[in-house]
Amino acid sequence: MEFFEYRNVVIETPNSAEAEAYRKLELNIQMMSIDQKTQVIQCTSATPEDGKTTTSINLAAVYAEKGKKVIILDFDMRRPKIHRAFHQPNDKGFYDYITNDVDYHELIIHDKSGIDLMLTGKHMSFPHIVLESHKTIDMVQALRNEYDYIIIDSPPILSVTDAMIISSYVDGIIYVVAYNKTKKEDAKSGLVQLQKNNSRVLGAVLANIDVRKNKVYYGYYGKYTSENKDNI
């Protein structure tokens, strides 16, 4: 058992250096989207607990702060976390849409933060089959007409195939790497898998940094391109 809690610094400490770093991330995504629309964004990483969920919720908070209509889809059905981050019960959600044909609008939580949420709901046994189903893709497509931004919190790449499946219907991927935690080899092989899949990686987020202890990295967000991939 492990105690963990998520901090949404954009909401809790909007004037902090950490919050500002997430605003820079949003700006970087915007810059990457001049010629190519980026509406559906997947947050993933190589290994578990690298900071995907924290990145998802803070990026969503930046969009909400800007008055954009944003939803987070928790597509990590094996270890869902979005409900924890928003202090919501997780008994209703995507499961009901898939299994019981409930209208997905009824399952969307309108959180007081201004961010909408689709939680996983009850446990599903074969997430990879669900994630590549037409029903899932249809929902994501329909949400494009209802939201400015859709952020998908997904499982790590090296653990299961789910993240690769999701990457086929998103506009871009944010690749989260945890400072002092993610192994260099793991970070590289995750990225290689995404490349082989022809996924559009928007950039990498270097998470888990204590900005007070690591001033040199202050607010750093690395933009991934094929030229600098070896630096990750």
Partner 1 sequence: MVDIHAHILPFVDDGSSSLEVSIELIREAMDCGVKNQFLTPHFMKTRNFLSVAEENQKVFQSFKETIKQRGWDINLYLGNEIYYSIDVLESLRKKHILPLGNSNKVLIEFSLSEMLEDMPEAVHNISSLGYVPVIAHVERYSYLNRLDDIKILRRMGAMIQVNASSIVGLSGKTQQAKAMKMIKLNDVDFVASDVHASRLNHMKQAYALVLKKFGRDMAEKIFNNQSVL
Residues at the interface with partner 1 (CB under 8 A): 1-3, 83-84, 87-91, 122-123
Nearer to partner 1, 91 or 210 (CB): 91
- Smallest separation, CB 5 to partner 1 (Å): 9
Instruction: Decide whether 4 or 126 has the Cβ nearer to partner 1.
Output: 4
* Alpha carbon separation from 164 to 125, 191, 201, 205 (Å, rounded): 18, 11, 12, 18
Per the CB < 8 A criterion, the answer to whether 200 and 40 are in contact is no
Which one, 27 or 89, has the nearer CB to partner 1?
89
28-40 core/surface letters (b: 16 or more CB in 10 A; e: else): bbeebeeeeebeb
User: Least separation, in Å, of the C-beta of 83 and partner 1?
Assistant: 7
Q: How far is the CB of 123 from partner 1 (least distance, A)?
A: 8
Residue with smaller CB distance to partner 1, 3 or 227? 3
CA atoms lying within 13 Å on the CB side of residue 217: 16
Q: Whole-angstrom Cα distance, residue 223 to residue 205?
A: 8
Nearest approach, Cβ of residue 87 and partner 1 (Å): 5
